Amino acid sequence: MSAEESTDVLVVGSGFGGAITAYHLAAGGARVVVLERGPWLEGKDFEHDFLLGSSYTRVFDFVAGDGMSVLSGNCVGGGSVVYFAALPRAPRFVFERHGSIGRRMWPAALSRDSLDPWYDRVAEAIPVRKQDWSDVTYAGGLWAAACHHAGRTANPVPSGVDNSLCTNCNWMMAGCRFDAKQSLLLNYLPGAVAHGAEVRPLHEVQRIERTDDGGYRVHYDHVDGVDYRVHTGSGTITAKIVVLAAGAGATPVILQRSEEGLGALPHAVGRYFSGNGERLNTAVVNEDRVREVLGLDRGDGRAYLANQIGKGPVVASWDRLDAALPEYERFSLEQLYFPPGLGTILAQAAGPAGSPSWFGVAKKEMLRRWQSWLTVFEMVEDDNEGVFGPPPPTGNAYRISQQMLGRGTLSYQPTANTKRAWALADAEVKDILERDGLATVTPWTNDVVGAYTVHPLSSCRMGDDPATSALDDRHELRGHPGIFVTDGSAVPGALTVNPAMTIAALAERAVPGIVEAARARGVQVTYGAPLPGSGTTGPMVRSAP
Amino acid sequence: MRSGDSDDRRSRTATLESFADTIVPGEKRTPDDRAIAGAATGGGAVAAGAVELLEQPAPGLAAGLDHYAAGLNAHAEAYAAEHGVDLETGLPAFVALPFEHRTALVARLTAPGHPEKDGWVLLALFCTMAFDTAPHMRTADALAAGHPGLATMGFAPPQADGLWRFGEFSYGRQLADLHPATTPSGSPA
Ligand SMILES: Cc1cc2nc3c(=O)[nH]c(=O)nc-3n(C[C@H](O)[C@H](O)[C@H](O)COP(=O)(O)OP(=O)(O)OC[C@H]3O[C@@H](n4cnc5c(N)ncnc54)[C@H](O)[C@@H]3O)c2cc1C
């Protein structure tokens, strides 16, 4: 038997929390191994295809739970490969939220001011660009014009899309074939690889145990590249530092499964999950009214008919991000695109009462007008009411399909606060879009797969109070020195805007503390490498699986 | 394959077709079509390939289809008895159920609180997807073949190289005032 493999730092997951920490630790001289459960695709691997087994289902993960379904990435680059790259910073009031605990949820060390320098770094590395009205798609323009007509403001959202390369194909959820979307495959990850980090795709971490010398042993399975239900082998690696960044739907599950080998976990592991208060509405617009009331015309006689065209969300209305409003009444409303399939099944037809809304005759009629759909994304303040049940045997779900679809253990029963916040946001969307007969608006149903989120957060959150947080303000797991959590699960609560920028800024901010902990454990590593892209990255070389 | 021609298999297919047709209804293939109720014009989930999709290995439901069909027919019999609906003999019970009753039964099976909800939602999910994404085919091929779902939705075709690009995408002008508190980075304050 060969000696057990060891490394300085073992990173679990290659999304924002994993890629950013891996980059800095590798650039600082540490030996870094990144284990990623999904495949490694890039550029030309990303297909424009809904075929099961194409890049769309290879890189995507949909886990249905009890009252909440979670959508995320399943590939090297994590959520950044499938995301829409809308990258706003969280408003100031978010950091002052009390949520369900009656006092400030965020650690005292964190505020918008203290995070802004870290946001700046991410904005430079990705890079994040302000958007101009000429970059705004028809769907975004329609939403802006409707907001304006209703006396609201609307903003182009800062974005990680390079508009000079973008074709407005709206296939971003299958990965960007044109490298227009600046995923982590184009900045932090090639930077990490250039500095010697090893990224291993199709390696799913199952559990962690403590070793006799105070380090950790990480157990993983090899996942088949086509049928993710099949595991073809397993292995272990020991490490002095473990960075957990499997995403808020997976990190707590790995920890739950590790409790035997680690010892008691903080109470907040697998609790306080937030779906970022997400909810969607579908408007079916009246093309004539769009022309008459809003004066919109594509120049070829069509007023809109452009649901399919674009690059996800580009315009948001931030009028309700008002610090003077009480908690649970603040939200943003962002225009969005979801492709058919995931983006159509939950949309409800405005049929007669008592008739089914998400399937059947009326729904088919609604689908006939699909090019006239406008999707609006609400991000409200929810109540961190999600709780994970006992972990499944492997991964974070009982996988059903070969790829993408599984059943998880998350239970989310929205509180009165969350339901009221959704109702307020629904009413606002209706007020804006049904004005003067512009559209008919219905919310997506929560009765089919529960609520749903592409923004899982808070399931292993940081805070100052050990009773309601799993991590200290340096992202270290309480009672388990050397284990850091740097993904969305560390974020204390809903952000009222898209979260990736905040997750990334927090990961940047966590790095100096992780470097310090690594040095205390004898790892030769320094902090202070320039950001990736500043001449530090070469073309990405895929390491052997 | 002999089993593929068997009565059981035909009955299973008809039952699954009736379910798919309840999710996204379509027009009858022939005047005496029983599985498809003809509740809507144009092709529905069946014509879109729902059963073909369910039978593929990728969705992960193929091994359970006998069970699904048997379950649907058992529920249909119970439903018919409950509502005093006479079911024509010689047809699987779910197929024999009139369209409005199929619809009501599926609504019941997929409603919150039904003990088998997860399974029926899963079946409905793939029937919907067969119609609106044709995930059993290359999307470009599906469009070229006039796939009824994508055609109904007006999903625009790709360019000659099979990729989608939209050269015209913007109204090209400012359409709203910016929020007054927008920060220099373009984010909310
Ligand atoms: C369709 C979609 C659109 C989105 N659009 C936006 C947007 O426009 N703006 C925005 O801010 N956010 C967006 N998001 C959300 C954003 O992608 C996430 O918030 C972000 O990626 C979370 O980062 P993370 O580090 O927490 O985890 P992730 O990015 O989810 O990374 C976790 C990684 O860990 C891997 N993993 C999981 N379990 C294991 C395991 N056991 N072993 C090894 N690896 C594992 C996963 O495969 C994944 O690659 C979107 C998400 C989706 C799904």
pLDDT (tens digit, 9 = 90+) per residue, A273-327? 999 999 999 999 999 999 999 999 999 999 999 999 999 999 999 999 999 999 9
DSSP state for residue A449 in the 8-state scheme: S
Q: Which two tokens stand for residue B155?
A: 């999903």
Residues of B in contact with A367 (CB under 8 A): 24, 131-132, 149, 152-153
Q: Which two tokens stand for residue A498?
A: 């898209």
Mean pLDDT of chain A: 96
User: Are the beta carbons of B164 and A332 separated by less than 8 Å?
Assistant: no
Mutate to test the pocket of ligand 1, among A69, A72, A280, A484 (most ligand atoms within 8 A of CB): A72
Question: Nearest-CA residue of chain B relative to A130?
Answer: B186
**pTM higher than 0.95 for the full model?**
yes
User: pLDDT-based confidence at A154, cuts 50/70/90?
Assistant: very high
Residue spans per domain, chain B: 3-153
- State which ligand 1 atom lies nearest to the alpha carbon of A498: 11
Distance from the alpha carbon of residue A438 to the mean position of ligand 1, in angstroms: 35
How much is the CA Rg of chain B, to the nearest whole Å?
Answer: 22
Between CA A72 and CA A82, with CA A78 as vertex, the angle to 5 degrees is 60
Q: What is the mean pLDDT of residues A143-158?
A: 98
Q: Which two tokens stand for residue A218?
A: 């990480």
Residue A539 pLDDT greater than 50, yes or no: no
Q: What percent of chain A has pLDDT over 90?
A: 95
Q: Is the ipTM of this complex over 0.90?
A: yes
Phi-psi region of A214 (alpha: psi -120 to 50; beta: other; left: phi over 0): left
When CB atoms are compared, the residue of B155, B175, B189 closest to A308 is B155
The candidate with the shortest Cα–Cα distance to B60, out of A317, A62, A495, is A62
Task: Give how far A516 is from chain B: nearest CA, Å.
Answer: 31
Residues of B in contact with A448 (CB under 8 A): 110, 121, 124
Q: Residue A113, SS3?
A: helix
User: pLDDT-based confidence at A540, cuts 50/70/90?
Assistant: low
Question: Nearest-CA residue of chain B relative to A90?
Answer: B188
Give CA A326 to chain center in angstroms.
26
User: Are the beta carbons of B176 and A321 separated by less than 8 Å?
Assistant: no
Which residues pair with residue A129 across a beta bridge? A159
Give which of A66, A152, A282, A364 to mutate to test B binding, by max B Cβ within 10 Å: A364
State how far the Cα of B53 lies from the Cα of B59, in Å rounded to an integer: 8
State how far the Cα of A74 lies from the Cα of A166, in Å rounded to an integer: 23
Strands A32-35 and A5-12: parallel
- Domains by residue range for chain A, with CATH: 5-520 (3.50.50.60)
From residue A382, give the alpha-carbon distance in Å to each of A329, A337, B101, B170. 10, 23, 38, 34
Smallest CA separation from ligand 1 atom 39, residue = A246
Distance from the alpha carbon of residue A247 to the mean position of ligand 1, in angstroms: 6
Task: Give the pLDDT score at A544.
Answer: 42
Contact A142, A304 (CB under 8 A): yes
User: Are the beta carbons of B121 and A448 separated by less than 8 Å?
Assistant: yes
Task: Give how far A536 is from chain B: nearest CA, Å.
Answer: 25
Strands A332-336 and A278-285: unpaired
Q: What is the mean pLDDT of residues A165-183?
A: 97
User: Are the beta carbons of A169 and B129 separated by less than 8 Å?
Assistant: no
Tell me the pLDDT tens digit for each residue of A92-102.
Answer: 999 999 998 98
- State which ligand 1 atom lies nearest to the alpha carbon of A507: 25
Residue B2 pLDDT greater than 80, yes or no: no
When CB atoms are compared, the residue of B152, B169, B173 closest to A168 is B169
Residues of A in contact with B46 (CB under 8 A): none
User: Are the beta carbons of A448 and B59 separated by less than 8 Å?
Assistant: no
Give which of B52, B114, B120, B133 to mutate to test A binding, by max A Cβ within 10 Å: B133
Task: Give the pLDDT score at A351.
Answer: 77
Q: Residue A515: what residue type?
A: V
Question: Nearest-CA residue of chain B relative to A89?
Answer: B187
User: pLDDT-based confidence at A457, cuts 50/70/90?
Assistant: very high
Residues with CB under 6 A from ligand 1: A 12-17, 35-38, 71-75, 78-80, 82-87, 173, 204-205, 245-248, 250, 254, 395-396, 454-455, 487-488, 498-501, 503
Tell me the pLDDT tens digit for each residue of A209-263.
Answer: 999 999 999 999 999 999 999 999 999 999 999 999 999 999 999 999 999 999 9
Residues of B in contact with A134 (CB under 8 A): 170, 172-173
Smallest CA separation from ligand 1 atom 41, residue = A205
